[in-house]
Chain A
């Protein structure tokens, strides 16, 4: 029998100390490569037993359970491929929905279904859309985890047919390059241009197909450092926070525009989420 114990944390800390010692002795470039390899090895070690799988199971339960004032399940929810079709839906979101005449991403659409089908109060369920560090996933996070799991292996194909879908992409591209805030930062400051990194984390060049695919297909992900599943809406929210931009509102047009921009750039990548990240 093999179990993961609380000691694993101490072992990782020790590994960090060893890495620190190597970095002092070796030439800087070699040390950087070593560290990169070690980070890769650490990521490899995490792959088996992703705690996000537990969130997926809980999300599946929530999806099928009759809940809310209308005592209905979400099984009739239309995620863009017809009522009740979850398989492959995430890979084609955000998209335009005729019933609301707006472009919606997966999380916004799930909230829409919870309001329309189950009768939940929108303000109430979106008041705290993200869980805190180490806390139990929120209902929105669990449902999103289930929906994205049902698209694993499906190629990303975010539509660009409806004029509003095209407009969302264009606005997303503009927001991506918009510099502002106290740091005079844009998304592009970090995510455009080759070989950029922050501390030891390589920053993906999100205007290019390959890195955009890697990013789009691996969110939502379980963040080990936060002990929580993080969604694409959270990713956008936190990027805005890191840029010191005004707080991004959950499900806002700006968030959907940015996700659309990333999703269209990531066309053809195979969904591999929920993933697990540092």
Chain B
């Protein structure tokens, strides 16, 4: 199973600043191993962010995103105590969901 991600969400006025660190190898499919064989591509393909279970962001990612991706975005209309949920799915179908409470 995939490793947990680190989510930090803080409210300033009615804007919530969300910072997410995800644990993922993010293989581009361009690299070769010691034997010269191509390491298959393995990357997060879709990210969904929700505020109190209402989707606010959906991103389609590809192999150009670096290992252990860091993502930052702002949500208007949030407040302290709200629940931020982040989910990702990778190109192998592995998935992970974590949530945090806005501070």
Please list the residues of chain A having a beta carbon within 8 angstroms of any beta carbon in chain B.
1-9, 48-51, 53-54, 57-58, 61, 134, 227
Given the known interface contacts A5-B66, A61-B4, the answer about A54 and B21 at a Cβ–Cβ threshold of 8 Å is: yes
* Cα–Cα, bound, A156→B4 (Å): 30
Instruction: Report B-chain residues with C-beta under 8 Å of the C-beta of A134.
Output: 67
User: What are the 8 tightest A-B residue pairs by CB atom distance, in nearest-first order?
Assistant: A49-B70, A54-B23, A57-B4, A53-B6, A51-B68, A2-B72, A1-B73, A4-B70
- Asked if A54 and B6 sit within 8 Å, CB to CB, the answer is yes
Q: Which of B57-65, B76-84, B87-95 contacts A (4 or more CB under 8 A)?
A: B57-65
Given the known interface contacts A1-B59, A57-B3, the answer about A8 and B73 at a Cβ–Cβ threshold of 8 Å is: no
Checking B3, B4, B28, B57 against A1 with a beta-carbon cut-off of 8 angstroms, the contacting residue is B57
Interface residues on B, range: 20 to 34
Number of inter-chain CB pairs below 8 Å:
55
Please list the residues of chain B having a beta carbon within 8 angstroms of any beta carbon in chain A.
3-6, 19, 21-23, 28, 57, 59, 64-73
* Cα–Cα, bound, A7→B63 (Å): 12
* Cα–Cα, bound, A50→B8 (Å): 13
Q: Could you say which of A2, A3, A9, A50 has the most chain B C-beta atoms within 10 Å of its C-beta?
A: A3
Given the known interface contacts A49-B21, A54-B6, A57-B6, the answer about A2 and B73 at a Cβ–Cβ threshold of 8 Å is: yes
How far does the Cβ of A145 sit from chain B's closest Cβ, in whole Å?
Answer: 12
Instruction: Report A-chain residues with C-beta under 8 Å of the C-beta of B69.
Output: 3-4
* Cα–Cα, bound, A237→B4 (Å): 30
How far does the Cβ of B34 sit from chain A's closest Cβ, in whole Å?
Answer: 12
* Cα–Cα, bound, A58→B59 (Å): 25
The closest CB in chain A to the CB of B69 belongs to: A3
Instruction: Report B-chain residues with C-beta under 8 Å of the C-beta of A57.
Output: 3-6, 23
Given the known interface contacts A57-B4, A58-B23, the answer about A1 and B65 at a Cβ–Cβ threshold of 8 Å is: no
Given the known interface contacts A57-B6, A58-B3, A61-B4, the answer about A3 and B71 at a Cβ–Cβ threshold of 8 Å is: yes
The closest CB in chain B to the CB of A54 belongs to: B23
